[in-house]
A and B are shown apart, each in its own frame.
Chain A
Amino acid sequence: MVGPPYDCLANPLGAVRLTFEKAIGSGSHPSSFDGKDWGTVDLFRHFLFDQSHLSQVPILNLATIRWIQPNTLVRFRGMIQDMLGNEFYVGAYKDGSVWRTNKYMDFSQFPIGSSPGSRVWERRLLYCVPVPGINSWAESASEVAIDGCMNWTSQQRDKRGRMDFEAMDAKDFPVSGSNFEDSPSAKRMKEDGQDYKTEAACSGTTVVSEIDKDSFPCLVKIYDSPESELKLNDVFEFVGVLTFDSEIPAEKGDHDEFCNDYCDDDLVHLPSSKVPRLHCIIHRKLAAHDFLHTSPIIEQKPHWVKDVRESLLKHLTDVLGNDGVAAHYMLLHLLSRVHSRVDNVAVGKLSLNITCLSKESVSVFGTQLSLAIKNLLPFSTCIPLTVEYLSRSSLAPKKDYQTNRLIPGVLQLAEGSHLIIDETQLETGTLNSVGVDNARLLRNLIEFQKVEYDFTYYKMEMTADVQLLILSEGKSNILPADIIMPFQPSSVGSSEVVATKALEAWRWYLATVRSLPHSIESEMQKVVEDDLVAARQTDRSIGSQDFSRWLTMGRLISSSFGETSLSLEHWQMVKELERQRRERLK
C-alpha cells in the first residue's frame, strides 16, 4: 500500500472525508451508513495498530493540551464517569450535488441547507475523567510512551498542520462561492475555519488556567458502537479527533430561556473551553497491562514467575515487618479480583483486615504499606475512617438533576482499584444519617462488591471490583472482611529503595497473574469437596463463607505460581496458611 495521501495524525478529518467520498464514489447511498462505518475505523485501525503508530498519537492531558492542535488525532485515557445520553446530528447531507458528512465534527463546515434527504445519525456522549486514584507511575507510563515521538510530532506539527489546514481550506471552500446562496454565512464559516489555529492557540493558554488541577475531564463522543461495549466506570483509551467549539467567545450569556427550556442543555455546564471534546474513532478497553512502562519479555517460564513471586513476597514481608504469614495473605489479596457473580455473591473477592494495629504502629506500617501498594498497583485510594469523615463525605455518586450530571463519589472507582480503609483513627462518636448511610455503603461494597448510586428517587446498584484492605485495631465490625489477619511484626519495616527494574517486574507480575484463567480438575475437585465436608463435620461453625474463602485462596495461590489449575500442593498451602492464621486468632 502506498502511503495514504493524508496525514492521519494531523488531519484525521481529511482521512474521514476521503474515505467518505470513496465510499460514496463506489455507489453507496449515505442511508446505508446509518449507524455504520464506511471504512474509517478500518483505516485508522490499520494505521494505529498494524502500522503501530499508536504511540505517536499524543495523549491528551493537562500538559499536552497546551500544544495539541484542534482537529488532530489524540488519545485520552480515562474512566467513564457519566453517560450523557445520545445526541442526534446531521450525519450526511447534500451540498449541492455532493454528499458531505459531519461525522467526527462538532460543526458542519458548510451551511446545511434545507436539503431533503439528509441523514440524521446519533452518537453517544460520555463524560470521562482520569482514572480515580491513578498512581503517578501509571500516569507517567502513558507520557513516557509519547516522549520519544514528541520531537517528531512537534517538528512536523507546525508545518504539516498549516499545510493541511491550508489544503483543507482551499479544497473545502470553493473560492467562487457560487454554490452558496447566502454567501455571508459561507464567508463566516470560512473565517471560522481559518480562525481555528489562532483560537486554539489562545485557548490553549486560557483553558489550562481554568481547569481544576485534579481533574482533567473529557467529553468523548462515541460513534456506531453497541451500547454494551462501554460501561460506566470502565477504563478506556479513546483515539479520536480533538475539537474545540468555535462558540467559545460567543457563548457567554447566550443561554436564554428558550435554549435552556428545551435542552436543559447538559453541555451548558461543560463548556468546551473547560472540557475538550474528543470525537472517538477507535476505543479500546485498558487493562492493568496497558499502564506498564514496558512489557517485559512475555516468556512464560514458570521459574521466572516463581522468582518474581519470591522477590515480591520478600518485599511484602519487609514492608510488613517480617510477618511472613501476613505477607502471604497480602499477596493473595493483591491478586484477587471478582471473576464471576452469582446473584448477590461476588466470587473471587478477598478483602483483608489487618488487625492489631494501633495508632502508633499504623503510622509506621500503614504508610509503608500504602506506599508499597501505590508502587505496585495502577489505581489505589486511601480512606481515613473517622466519624467526621463518615458524616461529611459523600461516598456514593449522586445524580444532580439540576445539572443532569452524576456527581462522583469516593466509591466510584474503576474496576480493579485498590482501597485502603484506615479504621485505626476511628473514635467513639455519633454518626448522623449520612454517616450511617456511608457505613452501609462501605459494608455493601465489602460484602457484595456493589455500590448504590443515589438517583434521588431510587438507588441503583452498580457492580464494583475493588480490593479492600482494612487496617484496624481489633476486628472491624463495620467492615466485615473476608480475612481477619492479626498482625505480628517482628521488626520495623525497612524502607529501602526498591530498584525500578524490580518494581516493573512486580507490576507486570501482578497484572498478568491476576488475569490468568483458572480451572479445577475433577479429581482435585473431589479432594477439595471431601476436605470441606470433613472440616464441617468436625466443626459445625464452619459455613459457606469459610468454604468460599478457602477456594478463593486456593485459586489465588495456584495463580500466584503462574499455574492455571489447582494442585494438591497448593491446596495444602491454603490449609497451612489458614491453620497459622487461626493460631493467631486464638
Chain B
Amino acid sequence: MASDSSPAPFNNGPSSPDDSLSSPIGNTFSSPAADNSRRNRRRGRSTTPSAFATPPPPQSRFATSESTPTPQRSRSIPRQAAVSTPSSASEGLPSSEGGDDMDEATPTFVWGTNISVQDVKSAIHMFLKHFRDNNQSQGTEIFEEGKYMKAIHRVLEIEGEWLDVDAHDVFGYDSDLYTKMVRYPLEVLAIFDIVLMDIVSLINPLFEKHVQVRIYNLKTSTTMRSLNPSDIEKMVSLKGMIIRCSSIIPEIREAIFRCLVCGYFSDPIVVDRGRINEPTVCMKQECLARNSMTLVHNRCRFADKQIVRLQETPDEIPEGGTPHTVSLLMHDKLVDAGKPGDRVEVTGIYRAMCVRVGPTQRTVKSLFKTYIDCLHIKKTDKSRMLAEDPMEIDNGSRRMEEDVQFDEVKIHQLKELSRQPDIYDRLTKSLAPNIWELDDVKRGLLCQLFGGNALKLPSGASFRGDVNILLVGDPGTSKSQLLQYIHKLSPRGIYTSGRGSSAVGLTAYVSKDPETGETVLESGALVLSDRGICCIDEFDKMSENARSMLHEVMEQQTVSIAKAGIIASLNARTSVLACANPIGSRYNPRLSVIDNIHLPPTLLSRFDLIYLILDKADEQTDRHLAKHIVSLHFENPEIAQQDVLDIATLTAYVSYARKHIQPKLSDEAAEELTRGYVEMRRRGNFPGSTKKVITATPRQIESLIRLSEALARIRLSEWVEKHDVIEAFRLLEVAMQQSATDHSTGTIDMDLITTGVSASERMRRENLVSATRNIIMEKLQLGGPSVRLLELLDELKKQSSTSEVHLQDLRNAVATLAGEGFVVFHGDSVKRV
C-alpha cells in the first residue's frame, strides 16, 4: 500500500507492479480483482489486432496484473470530477434514488439496471478506437487512426488532462451507448474513464496524469425551466448565463493524520462518501494511543472546487416570469472557466442533495438542493445572430466557441422554408409586421440584413458586402420604429442618435487610463458594430464633423486613428442604416434630396439605397391607416397577422443564410447586370437631346451586385439568378425614382446625388448666365452708370418669356459674371467694367 501511494518514480517500467490504470472509480462496481483481470485479458484479445498504430501493449502488463491483483482504490487517482467517484456520488445521491448500494450488486451489472459493465466497456473501447468522422473516405479508413485515437495521442503530447468527446459522435457510432450514457452518466462515465486510462497506458505506460473524458454537444439540450425530478442523475445540457462565481474552495481528497503521541503518519485516507473518517486509534502497533490523531494540513491533497450560479438566458424566460437559476459545481480545470456575464452551454449531470437539518445532524429535511456537476462548459456567443459572419474576409481568427451549431432538424426546417415560392414576400411581411406598407423599404432592409459577399482581391482592393441604407422621410412615418426593429434583429449593432453622437463616439477615441496613465483606444459605435448594423437615428442632426468620419467607414470599412502616439486602423465592417428628417422637418418635393436632407453628396453617394418615406396626402393610405388602427382596437389582433414568421425563426433564417450561403453570379445574371447597367446609363441620353444626364455610376453597379447577392441569399441559393438581378434593379429604381428624380426633367439623375445640382439645373443656370451677359453687353457701357438688379430682371423677363426667372437666380448669375471680372457687383447695383 505504501508504495502505491508514493507517486510516479516507481512506475518506471512495464513490469512495475504499480498499476497506473487502477480503476479511478474504485469499487464502484466492486469487481473482484479476478474479474478485473479477466476483463483486461478479454479486451487485450479483442483490441490488439485492430490497433495497428498504437504501440503493441507490453505483454508483461497482463502477467503482472494477473499475478498481482489490482489493488482496490490503491492510488486513488484524483478523479475530482465528482461525477464518477463513488464517494461523492453517494454523498450527492438522494437516499431514495439508490445507486449507492453498489457493493452488494453483481459485479457485472450496473446497479439497478440491466446494463452489463463489460458490454459498456467494450462498446466504449470500440468507439474510442474505431470512431472515424464520416467524411473520411472509405478507402483510407483502415489505415488511419480513429478520430479519438488521434485525439488521445494529442492529449498525451500536450500532457492534457481531459479528452473532449462529442456526444454526436457517440450517438453516430453507437446510439445504444449514447442512451446509456445519458441515462446512467455516473456509471458509464466511470467506465469511460477506465477504458480511456487503459488505452492511455497502452500507448504510454509512463504517462502519469489522469485523463478524464468530457462529454459535450448532447443531442438534446434542455432548458433550465424544464428540469424536473425525472432529470436527476441524468446527463443534461443547458444554456445559460453565469451570474455569480464563488471563490475557489479547496476540497479535501486525501487526508493524512499524525499521531500526537508518537508522531506516526497515517496512510492517506480517502474521502469516503463525502467525509473523512478520522482514525480513532494510532495505527502503529507500539503506540495504539486513542484519539491522538490530528490532521496534517500540508500533506493532504486538495482539489479545486467552485460553485457557479447559472441563470436562464433572457430569451428562454416566458412572459411574466423571472429567470430561473441553477448551481453548477466546477472542478479542477473547469474552475474559473467562465466569468459572470458569460453565456455558456454546460453539459453535466443533474444532481440532488439532501438538506440536513443541521450540519452536525444526520437527519435530513424532505427537501433537496439541486445542482449540476459540470462536465464541460462551452462559451456561446452573446448575440442572437451569429457575429461570426461569412462577410469576414480574413477568416483566420474564427473562434471555435463562437461557432453556433444549427442542428439538422432546424436546418431542414429552414431549407423547407426557403423552398416556398413566396419566401421573399413572407420574409418581407415578417419584418416589422406592425408597420404596415412600406414594402419596398422592408425589402431593402431585408437585403441589408442578408448582405452581399465581401470580396478581397489579391491586389489588396476590397469591395464591401454591406448594404447601406438611408431613410429620409416625414416625421411620424415609423422610420425610428423600423430602425429599432432592425437593431433588435441584427447580429451585432449599435443604435445611436445623431444628435447625441460625436465623431469620436462613432469611430474611436484615445483616452488615458486613469490608473496606469497609458493611452488606450476605446471603440466607438461603428467599430463596436463591426460585422453588424449600425443604426443612426436623426442622421441630419449630426454634426458636420461627425458625419465626415463616416466617409471612410462606409466605403473602406475601416476607422483610422492617428492620435496621441497611437496610429491604428480598426475594422468597422458595418452596414449603416441611417434615417433623417428632411430640412424643415417636412419634405419639400420642390427641392432636391440634397436640399431636403442637407447632407454632403459625398456621403450620400455611399448609401446603396436611399428611400424617401413620404407622407403623401393620399386617401387610400389614410384609409389603410384608419382600418389598421380600428382593427387594432376592436378586433383580435392575432387574426390580423397570420402567416408571419416569428422573430426567432427570422433570426435563425438570416444567420443561417449569412453563415452558409455564399452566392455567386451566374453567367446569365452577369449578362443581365451588364445589360441593365448599360441601359441605365443610356437612359440619360434623351433622343434628340444634347444634354447628358448621368443615370448610373460604378458605385451603383456595385450596389446592384450586393443587392442581387442578398436576394439570392434570401432564397438560400448559391447562385445569383437573372431574376435576382432584375429585382435588384427594381429595388434600386424604386429607391432612386423617389430620391433621384430631377423634378424639372423627371428623369433619374445621379448628378443630383453626387453633386447636389442636376444636369438640367446646371444647364438652366448656364443659360441664365449667358442671357444676363448678353443683356449687360447690350445695356451697359464699359465704365458707365450702374444698373439695379430689378431692372435687369425685368429685361430678362422680357427676353425669355418661357422660363421663370427669380431674383435669387439672377443674383447668382451676376455673381458668376462678377467672378469672371465682367461686372462689378455692389449691393443691388451692377456696373460693367
Contact = CB atoms under 8 A, between A and B. Distances in A.
Interface of A: 34-35, 82-83, 85-90, 93, 102, 105-108, 111-122, 185, 188, 227-228, 231-234, 247, 250, 254, 256-259, 261-265, 340-345, 347-348, 401-402, 404, 406, 455-458, 460, 462-463, 518-520, 525, 528-529, 532-533, 536-537, 540, 543-544, 547-548, 551-552, 555, 566
B341 A528 contact: no
A341 B638 CA distance: 10
Given A88-B367, A257-B249, A537 B619 contact: yes
B628 to A, nearest CB: 8
Nearest to A126: B322
A105 to B, nearest CB: 7
A552 B322 contact: no
Given A544-B629, A547-B626, A555-B633, A262 B371 contact: yes
B645 to A, nearest CB: 14
B550 to A, nearest CB: 27
Interface string B399-440: 000000000000000000000000000000000011000000
Interface in B217-269: 225, 227-230, 232, 241, 243-244, 246, 249
Contacts of B363: 111, 185, 188
Contact of B368 (A88, A264, A401, A518): A88
B782 interface: no
Contacts of B243: 401, 456-457
Given A259-B359, A262-B353, A552-B633, A457 B341 contact: yes
Given A89-B366, A263-B355, A401-B243, A115 B96 contact: yes
Given A120-B352, A401-B309, A529-B626, A105 B327 contact: no
Nearest to B93: A114
Contacts of A525: 630, 634
A581 B318 CA distance: 42
A85 B371 contact: no
B314 A543 contact: no
Contact of A264 (B327, B341, B615): B327
B663 to A, nearest CB: 32
A342 B630 contact: no
Nearest to B636: A340
Interface in B303-359: 307, 309, 311, 314, 317-325, 327, 329, 340-341, 352-353, 355-359
B779 interface: no
Contacts of B630: 520, 525, 528-529, 532, 547, 551
Contacts of A404: 309, 325
A462 B96 CA distance: 40
A264 B309 contact: yes
Contacts of A406: 322
Contacts of A111: 363
Given A455-B314, A537-B622, 10 more contacts: A34-B230, A232-B321, A250-B357, A254-B358, A460-B317, A525-B634, A532-B622, A536-B622, A537-B617, A544-B476
Given A87-B367, A457-B241, A232 B327 contact: no
A85 B327 contact: no
Contacts of B398: none
A88 B626 contact: no
A537 B325 CA distance: 55
Given A112-B95, A120-B94, A231-B320, A460 B314 contact: yes
Contacts of B481: 344
A120 B368 contact: yes
A548 B626 CA distance: 9
Interface in B756-790: none
Contact of B320 (A233, A348, A518): A233
A86 B382 CA distance: 27
Nearest to A258: B359
Nearest to A247: B357
Given A120-B232, A259-B359, A533-B626, A342 B632 contact: yes
A551 B628 CA distance: 12
Nearest to A259: B359
Contacts of B341: 457
A129 to B, nearest CB: 14
Is chain A's interface secondary structure helix, strand, loop, or mixed overall? Answer: mixed
Contacts of A113: 95
Given A112-B95, A401-B244, A528-B630, A344 B321 contact: no
Contact of A261 (B241, B246, B340, B634): B246
The 10 tightest CB contacts between A and B, nearest first, are A231-B320, A118-B96, A532-B626, A343-B434, A120-B229, A114-B95, A88-B368, A520-B634, A551-B633, A108-B366
B588 interface: no
B633 A548 contact: yes
Interface string B85-113: 00000000011111000000000000000
B370 interface: yes
A540 B433 CA distance: 24
Contact of A232 (B322, B358, B628): B322
Given A234-B320, A460-B317, A347 B369 contact: no
B364 interface: yes
A82 B95 contact: no
A533 B96 contact: no
Contacts of B675: none
B365 interface: yes
Nearest to B112: A116
Nearest to B484: A344
A49 B626 CA distance: 47
29 contacts: A83-B324, A88-B368, A106-B366, A107-B365, A108-B366, A114-B96, A233-B320, A247-B358, A254-B359, A256-B359, A259-B356, A262-B353, A262-B369, A344-B434, A401-B309, A401-B340, A404-B309, A455-B314, A460-B323, A532-B625, A533-B623, A540-B615, A547-B626, A547-B629, A547-B630, A548-B632, A551-B629, A551-B632, A566-B634
B32 interface: no
B626 A528 contact: yes
B96 A117 contact: yes
A89 B368 contact: yes
Output the residue of A188, A247, A263 with the most chain B CB within 10 A.
A263
B637 interface: yes
Nearest to B478: A544
B251 to A, nearest CB: 10
A228 B318 contact: yes
B485 to A, nearest CB: 9
A232 B318 CA distance: 11
B429 to A, nearest CB: 14
A404 B364 CA distance: 24
B355 A83 contact: no
A357 B179 CA distance: 72
B299 interface: no
Contacts of B96: 90, 93, 112, 114-118, 120
B797 interface: no
B826 interface: no
Nearest to B322: A83
A13 to B, nearest CB: 14
Output the residue of A102, A341, A342 with the most chain B CB within 10 A.
A342
Contacts of B340: 401, 457
Output the residue of A90, A122, A231, A234 with the most chain B CB within 10 A.
A90
Output the residue of B366, B433, B640 with the most chain A CB within 10 A.
B366
Nearest to B627: A529
Given A120-B232, A552-B633, A85 B319 contact: no
Given A342-B637, A543-B476, A232 B632 contact: no
B194 to A, nearest CB: 27
A539 B757 CA distance: 33
Contact of B318 (A85, A227, A457): A227
A227 B366 contact: no
Contacts of A345: 434, 632
Interface string B26-57: 00000000000000000000000000000000
B625 A536 contact: yes
